[in-house]
Structure 1
Amino acid sequence: MKLVKLIANLGYGSRKDVAWMFREGRITDVDGEVLYADDKLEHARILVDGEPLDPPPGLVLMMHKPLGVTCSRKDAGRVVYDLLPPRYRVREPALSTVGRLDRDTAGLLLFTDDGALLHRIISPRANVAKVYEATLAEDLRGDEAALFASGTLLLESETTPLAPAALDVLGPRHARLVLHEGRYHQVRRMFAATGNRVETLQRVAIGALTLGELAPGAWRALGTEDVERIFTAMPEALT
């Protein structure tokens, strides 16, 4: 692929814009040599305005989604794409969220431009675990773990029972829940079915990939080993 098209597809501008950047000498190699539109060079050796070129297609990001931000490209309020460089909105192929977290749920959110990977993660066949921590309005009754693990819980307005889910009690009003499916507002509706209400909710892991020290609103690109953690068992500290 020609450098003009590669850099334009990464969202740095139209092909016309990028051609102008070449003429201005803004695109160089790591040694500071000015590049030309028809040059061929390894992706990792290309700089734009002295900064490394954004990752190529096949990008996977993790973000610590903060509260009050919507998993959407357009919304009246703030959206998750506002937390990324503006050019990430217009990359080709498009960078999409892997599932969603609602405005009032914080925590681990994935993005990718790899459609096959996205579908692999969200497919029920993959059985990828999603781990949430919730604080509740009322004390736990004591029978929630058995109910959630039974595979018989039927949410309001649905006709198919939930798949078994694991509940770990962390305190009288604090619980960790491990799901292997992703229905609409599932965690909130599960606790509502027991007569309780979720006050705060955060996703802390997907598979063995955890938030770690990532601060709210921060994000980072994932390497191959990180992506593989999505499909591996959770660490014992989260089970």
Structure 2
Amino acid sequence: MPLLVTDAIVLHAAPYLESSRILRLATRDAGVQSVVARGARSSKKRFGSAVDLFAEGQAQIQLKPGRDLHSLHGFDVTVSRPALALDLGRFTAASAMAECALRLVHEEAAPAVYGALVRGLDQLAAAAPDRTAAVTLGALWQLVGEVGFRPALEHCAECHAEIRADAEVRFHHRVGGALCERCSRLLPGGRRLPPSAMEALRAWLGDADLEVGLDDGETRAHQRLLREFLAQHLPDPRPLKAWLVWEQGAW
């Protein structure tokens, strides 16, 4: 059985039997993997903070061909991100980000996707409370883009005509982005987006470090837009529970 040594982030943890935990890890070299950390609940000596949510480090995973659950032999933590646990807004946002990553990322190497996730969690951990939502939305759009679901913004998603930067457009989830005026008349559905909303989307998808300012109404509208876009493109139809807690501020 091969031993995989790779950078990894803990996205989910659950108890297993009396003394162990099952972890869902996002890895740089093998996508999302499910592993069992034996003895992690009875002793901190072997794994320490490695079983904490959003911890990042180097994981040693004993892969079992043909199995969905592998063995975690060790996890050397390099970044623990305690700031995410100190604020409910950050924690629920990070949980929504982790939930999306678990739905979007498969069991295959995707360094750019892993990098987008790392960058997003780091930005969120450092964000001021009033910047949490905008930072999370930007990180999630970056993740969506790296996975391969980047929406069309500069050109019509249907006919590929150029979209003016100052135009109000219809954003169509099923087609995959903005529509020109002609195509928006031919295709029902979607949401009308003002130029300011399109500018925010272009900024998030073009520069991960660019700050975007949103008021409460704009934040809710962008959360709804991204949730609807994910619902159209995710293969798993189950509701995003952590996302809904974050979107509704239900804490």
Structure-1-length-normalised TM-score = 0.28
The structure with the greater share of residues assigned to helix is: 2
Structure-2-length-normalised TM-score = 0.27
